[in-house]
A = this chain, B = another copy of it.
Amino acid sequence: MTLTDIAAPSVFETVESEVRSYCRAWPVVFERAAGSRLYDEDGRPYLDFFAGAGSLNYGHNNPVLKRALLDYLADDGITHGLDMSTTAKRAFLETFRATVLEPRALPYKVMFPGPTGTNAVEAALKLARKVTGRQTVVSFTNAFHGMSLGSLAVTGNAAKRAGAGVPLHHAARMPFDDYLDGQVTDFLWFERLLDDSGSGLDHPAAVIVETVQGEGGINVARAEWLRGLAELCRRHDMLLIADDIQMGCGRTGDFFSFEEAGITPDIVTLSKSISGYGLPMSLCLFRPELDLWEPGEHNGTFRGNNPAFVTATAALDAYWRDGALRERTLNRAARVERALLDLCGDDAATGVAVRGRGLVWGLEFADGERAEAVCRRAFETGLLLETSGPRGEVVKLLPPLTATDDELDEGLGVLARSVRHTAGRRAA
């Protein structure tokens, strides 16, 4: 930074709101991106192990998707479509049915609830309440479901919740898998509350769950726990909502992260990587018998983001016609796990816990300062990493699924050096 810079703060500092966040951790101006790398305006490359918080599973500006998008735009395809029928939407629906729904025998209806994850969660909550006539939705400790008022009520983070400025209601909290001491029977508390008419828990409309809590600190639910939850929902007549916004679209290997557990949620939310190109898009899927919406009962201006439909269709075509991506991701999962365990050894010694599945992994440090120091050091060495968890104590790895083996090794190498570099130091 030169004297001139000091004299003239950037437009980000003078005009953009103080609410901005990631740009503080990565104080450069990005200009270009391709595959697994971003480039700042000075041309410096950054290996991206953040992938738009899971929105870029197929990498930046994936050439297959890019081609489809440029063609569509060049031909004056519809860009803004509200919920009109368009050829782009039809192609998406047909491809989604052919590549995602039919192969998995999922009967879901597809709703376009608005282009962001929180739109999808709001729609899912509305529908669950409408269908059941009940109001309480159960969510889990350290859940993250979005920042609009309905989604925030089922989110755990205290600082985000405080931002609401009003009390958040109609939600009840349960312990996520392995939240307590490792001794307590799964769902002991939850089922006791449901069985006991004096418990004070109003019968819930639904349970909303992430199979892996990304923002919450890469907390991985066991398949067995997810099956127990699905069974509990069935037994107690509660709808099960899987929020697969961050973990869907192949992040854990399967297209849906809940496939491994062999469960079929009643409602599923998808967003982030569904468009495949970083364009805003989200879906709310549900069993057809739940489709009790009145026309227009939930609406929104940008539900029909047709350019996103185009890239989404191209991504499904390119990656989900067969099982290759899934297999590759699962292979890489093993490779990453090995590397991280090599790095951290057993926690007892290093105090670092390793958790993950597919291509989402976390290293839990003793405190947020250390995790932040690791990310800062990684950034200085050209690797983008972010923290998560309630105290920011978890370094989160979300590389593009399309990263090459070399890129993966490169990133894991930088990470290892950053961990070692920061050992025994306090964050500056």
Whether a CB of chain B sits under 8 angstroms from the CB of A358 is no
Is A164 touching B19 in the complex (CB atoms < 8 A)? no
- Checking B130, B199, B216 against A141 with a beta-carbon cut-off of 8 angstroms, the contacting residue is B199
Contact between A26 and B84, CB atoms less than 8 A apart: yes
| Chain B, residue nearest A286 (CB) | B17
CB contact list, A183-232 vs B, under 8 A: 183-185, 188-189, 192-193, 196-203, 205, 216-217
CA gap between A94 and B11 in the complex, in Å = 7
Determine how close the nearest CB of chain B comes to the CB of A374; give it in whole angstroms.
19
Chain B minimum-CB-distance residue to A245: B301
Tell me how far the C-beta of A300 lies from the nearest C-beta in chain B, rounded to whole angstroms: 6
Interface contact B161-A170, CB-CB below 8 Å:
no
Bound form: Cα–Cα A77–B38 in Å: 9
Taking the full assembly, how many copies of this chain does it contain?
4
Q: Which of B12, B74, B197 contacts A70 (CB 8 A)?
A: B74
Do A19 and B301 touch across chains, with their CB atoms under 8 A apart?
no
The reply to whether B296 and A19 form a contact with Cβ atoms under 8 Å apart is yes
* Chain B contacts for A301, CB-based, 8 A: 52-53, 55, 116-117, 245, 271-272, 280
| Cα A201 to Cα B111 with chains together (Å) | 29
Contact: A157 with B198, CB < 8 Å?
A: yes
- Of A173-181, A328-336, A337-345, the one with at least 4 CB within 8 A of chain B: A173-181
Name which residue of chain B comes closest to A88, CB basis: B31
Residue from B85, B166, B217, B296 within 8 A of A169 (CB atoms): B166
A363 within 8 A of B: no
Contact A93 B15, beta carbon cutoff 8 Å: yes
Residues of B within 8 A of A200 (CB): 139, 141-143, 154-157, 161, 171, 173
Cα A36 to Cα B201 with chains together (Å): 38
A93-119 vs B: 1/0 string, CB under 8 Å? Answer: 110110001000000011110111111
- Among A234-242, A287-295, A416-424, the stretch that binds chain B is A287-295
CB proximity to B under 8 Å, residues A353-384: none
Question: Does A350 count as interface, using CB distance less than 8 angstroms?
Answer: no
Residues of B within 8 Å of A26, CB to CB, are: 84-85
Extra A-B contacts (18), CB below 8 Å, given A12-B89, A24-B295, A130-B165: A16-B112, A17-B284, A17-B286, A21-B299, A29-B90, A30-B85, A52-B81, A115-B115, A116-B300, A135-B167, A141-B193, A141-B196, A149-B153, A157-B198, A159-B296, A167-B167, A181-B185, A189-B189
Q: Can you sample 18 A-B contacts with CB below 8 Å?
A: A19-B296, A29-B90, A52-B82, A55-B302, A61-B76, A70-B70, A116-B119, A126-B163, A126-B164, A141-B198, A146-B300, A155-B200, A167-B170, A168-B202, A169-B169, A173-B193, A245-B301, A280-B305
